[in-house]
Amino acid sequence: MTHMRIVFRTDANHVIGTGHFVRCLTLADELRLTGAYILFVARDLPLHLQQMLSERGVGYLALPKCDAAPNTDELPHATWLQTSQAHDAEQTLAALGADSWDWLVVDHYALDHRFETPLRSIAKHILAIDDLADRIHDCDVLLDQNFYYDQPQRYLGKVPAHCRLLLGPSFALLRPEFKAVRQQLQVRTGRVQNILVSFGGVDADNRTGQVLDVLINLNLDIHVNVVIGQQHPQKEKIEQQCFQHHFKCHIQTNQMAMLMAQADLAIGAGGTSVWERSSVGLPSVCIATADNQAQQLNDLQLAGLVLGPTRQEGLCAFLTTFLQNLDAESKLLQTQSQRGMALVDGKGTVRVAIALHAQALRMRMAEAQDARNIFNWRNHPLVRRNSVNEQEISWSEHSQWYEQQLENSNRPILIGEIDTKPVGVVRFDISTNEAEVSIYLVPDSGFKGWGGCLLDQAEVWLRHHYPEVTTLHAQVLPNNEPSKKLFTKLNYTLFARQDQLEFVKDVEACI
């Protein structure tokens, strides 16, 4: 992978919460594994979050305290910025200096194109992370990891025509431990014996305390784990309640994946934590702790992915009734666990990182003068070893086949390049609304690990040039471990056959 330079612009405080910062840090951690240099730019970032950056060797630039006029934009969250977007852009540019960045990642409800466009003077590409769809972005990629019934329409007219949309929970930014824990788990069945209560890093309205009051009054014979952050406004009281009633209290824990794996039911907030719980099959009662979570949780309830009170019900009344009848809800919880694991596989962070790296790739159609290179690459022992047809091909066979391929518009051959250096080859055999995929990296090219980026960009090319294709197929030999990992990582579903494996992808579902 090329060593990219990536700067994040986000904030965290008692009003905003820590969710935006945490999901940015999760993506940053994944990108650091590829050798990327990461820098965070924020205003008034709490010390314990600064410490998290320092421990990772991630750079941090603090924007000056605001002395300018407050943000008067029409955006619902304009006050979160503490200044105008123009002033914030000026300060960010001044802090970053004249350096050039491969990517600017913006995760802030108070920032839109009025901040992003000025930053293009130093950023080659911009990723906007959003889930409100309430403003216009000037970005090359937009990520919205949430589930909405109207997801494809939400950003119409709000991003540039060239912008790539990464939509839905398959792109959820989850830390690696959730993927690791998931591999040891199955769908939840049986009685609820362990409840996890967690409302995020801040929980300004003390929903945790409200849930504890219900649990204490019910006096259930159930183990309870409670997770709160260092900034919780009622930290001491919650610690005392947990001690008195034999609940276990965890403050600013780094063991969330393990606690979720141990639990049979979670009670908590919306946002990213919904996808953490879903990835490990943990059924949950979800309560909106911010206005922007209301539609998300409403759509999730309609899809049978979470439980929760209606807008007319109170939290305490709903919880009391639900918890008193837990045994009768066991089948419902099992179904929710199954649906959650099917929706979220924990590999979203890897997919987003691949999409960012893939921007460095240029895909072009193979031409007549590429015949000799493709012949040599295809006959290389490394490529033949993982091909369905392992036989060496003669030049005459290849020449005849290659000429036919170039003349057939339904058999495009693509070559992926970085700075004119060939990375790999992808071929599509198209029939009506389906396409067969073949892929290999150029042997001995030094581009090991670029398979995901190559396939990712080839699919982007295919969607643009052949929008009628809705399903992709790939045939893989059972002993071809790299290809199995590659297609799984790119959202393909495995169907085993007797002599080889077939991977299938619903393109429309992944857009």
Residues 327 and 231 reside in one and the same domain: yes
d(CA 344, CA 15): 29
Residues 260 and 224 reside in one and the same domain: yes
- Evaluate whether 131 touches 146 at the Cβ level (below 8 Å): yes
- The number of C-alpha atoms within 13 Å of 125 and in the hemisphere containing its C-beta is 18
Q: What pLDDT sits at residue 165?
A: 95
Question: Where is the domain boundary, 143, 173, 203?
Answer: 173
d(CA 142, CA 236): 40
Instruction: Report which secondary-structure segment, H or E, holds 340.
Output: helix 330-343
Residue 147, domain CATH: 3.40.50.11190
Residues 331 and 453 reside in one and the same domain: no
- Number of domains forming the structure of the chain: 3
Residues 197 and 333 reside in one and the same domain: yes
**Statement: residue 339 has pLDDT above 90:** yes
Q: What pLDDT sits at residue 67?
A: 67
Q: What pLDDT sits at residue 172?
A: 96
Lowest mean pLDDT among 66-75, 96-105, 338-347: 66-75
First to last CA, the chain: 25
d(CA 179, CA 281): 11
Q: pLDDT exceeding 70 applies to what percent of the chain?
A: 97
**Structure tokens, 204:** 């300004």
- Assigned domain for 350 exists: no
d(CA 79, CA 67): 14
**Structure tokens, 108:** 């802030």
Assign 498 a pLDDT band (cuts: 50, 70, 90).
low
**Statement: residue 387 has pLDDT above 90:** no
Residue 460, domain CATH: 3.40.630.30
pLDDT in tens, 248-290: 999 989 899 999 999 999 999 888 899 999 999 999 999 887 7
Residues 204 and 311 reside in one and the same domain: yes
- Assigned domain for 346 exists: no
Residues 140 and 165 reside in one and the same domain: yes
415: domain range?
360-510
3-state SS, residue 139: coil
Of residues 56, 170, 75, the one with CA closest to residue 492: 170
Mean pLDDT throughout 157-162? 96
- Where are the extended beta strands (E) located within 50-206? 59-62, 101-107, 123-129, 141-144, 164-167, 194-198
- Assigned domain for 261 exists: yes
* Residue pointed to by tokens 């109170």: 314
pLDDT in tens, 188-198: 998 999 999 99
pLDDT averaged over every residue in the chain: 92
pLDDT in tens, 100-146: 999 999 999 999 999 999 999 999 999 999 999 999 999 999 999 99
Residues 434 and 505 reside in one and the same domain: yes
Q: What pLDDT sits at residue 511?
A: 53
Mean pLDDT throughout 455-462? 96
d(CA 335, CA 331): 6
Of residues 263, 269, 234, the one with CA closest to residue 248: 263
Residue 308, domain CATH: 3.40.50.2000
Q: What pLDDT sits at residue 461?
A: 96
pLDDT in tens, 4-48: 999 999 999 888 888 899 999 999 999 999 899 999 999 999 999
Q: What pLDDT sits at residue 312?
A: 60
Phi-psi region of 442 (alpha: psi -120 to 50; beta: other; left: phi over 0): beta
d(CA 47, CA 253): 16
Q: What pLDDT sits at residue 200?
A: 82
d(CA 299, CA 148): 6
Question: Where is the domain boundary, 154, 173, 192?
Answer: 173
- Assigned domain for 348 exists: no
**Statement: residue 509 has pLDDT above 70:** no
Between strands 37-42 and 5-10, the pairing is parallel
d(CA 255, CA 177): 9
Mean pLDDT throughout 207-219? 95
Of residues 238, 239, 281, 235, the one with CA closest to residue 257: 281
**Statement: residue 413 has pLDDT above 80:** yes
| DSSP 8-state assignment for residue 429 | E
Amino acid 404 reads Q
- Evaluate whether 393 touches 371 at the Cβ level (below 8 Å): no
d(CA 33, CA 49): 20
Show Cβ contacts of residue 82 under 8 Å, excluding neighbours closer than 6 positions.
43, 66, 70, 71
Residues 236 and 289 reside in one and the same domain: yes
Q: What pLDDT sits at residue 396?
A: 96
Residues written for the chain: 511
- The number of C-alpha atoms within 13 Å of 421 and in the hemisphere containing its C-beta is 12
Residues 239 and 160 reside in one and the same domain: no
Residues 437 and 451 reside in one and the same domain: yes
d(CA 210, CA 208): 5
Question: Where is the domain boundary, 173, 205, 234?
Answer: 173
pLDDT in tens, 166-180: 999 999 999 999 999
d(CA 143, CA 213): 37
- Assigned domain for 351 exists: no
Q: What pLDDT sits at residue 510?
A: 58
Judged on CB neighbours under 10 Å (0-12, 13-18, 19+), 168 is buried
Q: What pLDDT sits at residue 201?
A: 73
- Assigned domain for 163 exists: yes
Lowest mean pLDDT among 79-93, 250-264, 278-292, 349-363: 278-292
Residues 131 and 218 reside in one and the same domain: no
| DSSP 8-state assignment for residue 338 | H
Widest Cα–Cα separation across the chain: 82
Q: pLDDT exceeding 90 applies to what percent of the chain?
A: 78
Phi-psi region of 206 (alpha: psi -120 to 50; beta: other; left: phi over 0): left
Between strands 421-431 and 413-418, the pairing is antiparallel
- Assigned domain for 352 exists: no
Please report, for residues 235, 276, 378, 496, the alpha-carbon distance to residue 23 in angstroms, rounded to integers and kept in the order given.
24, 11, 41, 35
Residues 402 and 334 reside in one and the same domain: no
Lowest mean pLDDT among 237-246, 361-370, 441-450: 441-450
Q: What pLDDT sits at residue 204?
A: 84
3-state SS, residue 114: helix
- Assigned domain for 345 exists: no
Q: What pLDDT sits at residue 283?
A: 96
